[in-house]
Copies of this chain bind each other. A is one copy, B any other.
C-alpha cells in the first residue's frame, strides 16, 4: 500500500489539481446547456435534491451535496429570491426546512432534458467504458476520502 510519489513531483501530478481541472471543464459544458434555464449546474443539483428529498434542512443538504453548510446558505439565496425554493416553518425553530415551490418543480422539469443533453454529450465524448471507469473511480474515491 506504499504508493510512491513521482520522483520529481510537479503540480501537474497533483491529484487535487487534476480533479479540480476536470471539475472546471465539465462545469463549463453543463453550464452551456443549462444557460437557457438561468440555472447554474450547482443550482440545478441543489434544486434537484430539494425537489426529490422534500422538506430538508441546510445541514442535511450539506451532507448530501458534500458541501460546506455555509456555502449552501449563500447558494440558496438566488433560488429563494427567485421563488423556486422556499422555507417551510418547522416545529423546531432552529431548523430551516426547504421545499421546492410549484414554480421550482416546473423549472426543474424544464431543465431536466437540458441537463440530460449535457450528460449525453459528455458521455458520448468519453465513451461508455471511460464513463463507467470515471464514475467508479470517483465513487470509490469519495468513499475512501470520506473518512479523512
Q: Which residues of A contact B (CB under 8 A)?
A: 1-3, 5, 9-11, 13-27, 29-30, 41-42, 44-45, 48-49, 52, 65-67, 112, 115-116, 118-128, 130-131, 133-142, 144-148
16 A-B residue pairs with Cβ-Cβ distance under 8 Å, sorted by A, are: A1-B127, A3-B126, A9-B116, A10-B48, A11-B52, A14-B30, A15-B134, A18-B135, A18-B139, A22-B23, A23-B23, A121-B148, A125-B145, A127-B144, A134-B138, A137-B137
- Kindly list chain B residues whose C-beta atoms are within 8 Å of the C-beta of A121: 148
Asked whether A133 and B124 contact (CB < 8 A) given A19-B23, A21-B66, the answer is no
Q: CB < 8 Å: which of B27, B125, B146 contacts A16?
A: B27
Q: CB < 8 Å: which of B25, B119, B133, B144 contacts A5?
A: B119
Query: Is B127 within 8 A of A18, CB to CB?
Result: no
Query: Is B10 within 8 A of A19, CB to CB?
Result: no
- Kindly list chain B residues whose C-beta atoms are within 8 Å of the C-beta of A134: 15, 19, 137-138, 141
Give the CA-CA distance A144 to B9 in the complex, in Å: 25
- Kindly list chain B residues whose C-beta atoms are within 8 Å of the C-beta of A3: 120, 123-124, 126-128, 131
Q: CB < 8 Å: which of B15, B23, B115, B127 contacts A123?
A: B15
For A48, the closest partner residue in chain B by CB is: B11
